[in-house]
């Protein structure tokens, strides 16, 4: 394990981390400017996971949420969610789950499931079910309909996460497709997405 961990963090992988974190921030900002109803704030983490592997993505996720915490500490507990997303994206990539668009959509659904499982307990335990964004309103509606807190939060998280994660994953799929073979060849899972190796298979 120790040797693997060193091997994952090549200099190029290290330099990809700040870019990945910045993509998370910029993606969120552009989604806000365009007034899209989703966050798109994990694109960078997923991208790093897909080309540089789960460990690098976990670090990128940790840094993303730590920097968010400087501006708003409320979001720090969700570092667990982001790290789980990074881990999931890295492992899915290892098994070639981002190589075709259909597999990418399935990966998007799996990452949605990971995000929901990792974030719903945080929302319930830390904030009693409310975080002040749109999903709180949905949660409150379910609660008023008589559901218990857990099923209300799970349902509202699934509703808000599914479009977000599937679109993020598809976006990453197209980005990776347009990367040069020269760059991909230097990344851990890059060989999976190089055009040449795809043609041979």
Partner 1 sequence: MKNSLVNLYPLTKFYFALFIAATVIIVPNYVFAFAWFPVLVLIAVAAGVAKSFLSFILKTLVILLVIVFLMQLFFYPGEEVLASWWIFEISREGLNYGLTLTSRILAIGSAFILFFRIVEVKDFVKSLEDAGMPSAGAYVVLSTLQIIPEMRRQSNTIMEAQKTRGVETEGSIITRAKAFFPTLTPLILSSIASTEERAITLEARAFSAPGKKTSLHKLTKRPIDRVLPWIYIIIVIGLIIWRVF
Name which of 77 and 88 has its Cβ closer to partner 1. 77
Cα end-to-end span (Å), the chain? 30
16 counts as binding partner 1 under rule CB under 8 A: yes
HEC string of the chain equals CHHHHHHHCCHHHHHHHHHHHHHHHHHHHHHHHCCCCCCCCCHHHHHHHHHHCHHHHHHHHHHHHHHHHHHCHHHHHHHHHHHHHHHHHHHHHHCCCCCCHHHHHHHHHHHHHHHHHHHHHHHHHHHCCCCCCHHHHHHHHHHHCCCCHHHHHHHHHHHHHHHHHHHHHHHHHHHHHCCCHHHHCCCCCHHHHCHHHHHHC
Each residue 78-97 as x (binds partner 1 by CB under 8 A) or -, in order, gives: --------------------
Q: How many CA atoms lie within 13 A of 41 on its CB side?
A: 20
Among 74, 101, 109, 117, interactor with partner 1 by CB under 8 A: 74
Radius of gyration of the chain (CA): 17
Closest CB 200 distance from partner 1, rounded Å: 25
Among 34, 102, 200, 201, interactor with partner 1 by CB under 8 A: 34
Interacting residues with partner 1 between 39 and 68 (CB under 8 A):
40, 43, 47, 59, 63, 66-67
169 counts as binding partner 1 under rule CB under 8 A: no
Among 11, 102, 199, 201, interactor with partner 1 by CB under 8 A: 11
14 counts as binding partner 1 under rule CB under 8 A: yes
CB 75 within 8 A of CB 112: no
Closest CB 26 distance from partner 1, rounded Å: 5
Among 1, 3, 33, 199, interactor with partner 1 by CB under 8 A: 33
Among 91, 106, 140, 159, interactor with partner 1 by CB under 8 A: 140
User: Can you give the binding site for partner 1, defined by CB under 8 A?
Assistant: 9, 11-12, 14-19, 21-23, 25-27, 29-31, 33-37, 40, 43, 47, 59, 63, 66-67, 69-74, 76, 126-132, 136, 139-140, 143-144, 148-149, 171, 174-175, 178-180, 183
């Amino acid at each position: 394990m120790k040797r693997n961990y060193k091997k994952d963090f090549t200099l190029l992988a290290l330099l990809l981390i700040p870019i990945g974190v910045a993509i998370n921030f910029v993606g969120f900002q552009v989604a806000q400017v365009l007034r899209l109803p989703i966050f798109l704030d994990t694109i960078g983490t997923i991208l790093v996971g897909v080309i540089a592997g789960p460990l690098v993505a976990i670090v990128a996720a940790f840094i993303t949420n730590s920097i968010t915490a400087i501006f708003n500490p409320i979001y720090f507990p969700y570092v667990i969610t982001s790290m789980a997303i990074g881990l999931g994206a890295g492992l899915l990539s290892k098994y070639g789950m981002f190589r075709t668009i259909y597999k990418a959509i399935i990966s998007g659904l799996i990452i949605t499931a990971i995000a929901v499982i990792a974030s719903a307990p945080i929302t319930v335990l830390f904030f009693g079910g409310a975080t002040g964004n749109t999903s709180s309103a949905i949660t409150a509606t379910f609660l008023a309909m008589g559901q218990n807190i857990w099923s209300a939060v799970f349902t509202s998280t699934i509703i808000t996460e599914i479009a977000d994660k599937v679109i993020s994953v598809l976006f990453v799929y197209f980005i990776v497709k347009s990367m040069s073979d020269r760059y991909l060849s230097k990344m851990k899972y890059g060989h999976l997405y190089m055009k040449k190796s795809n043609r041979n298979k």
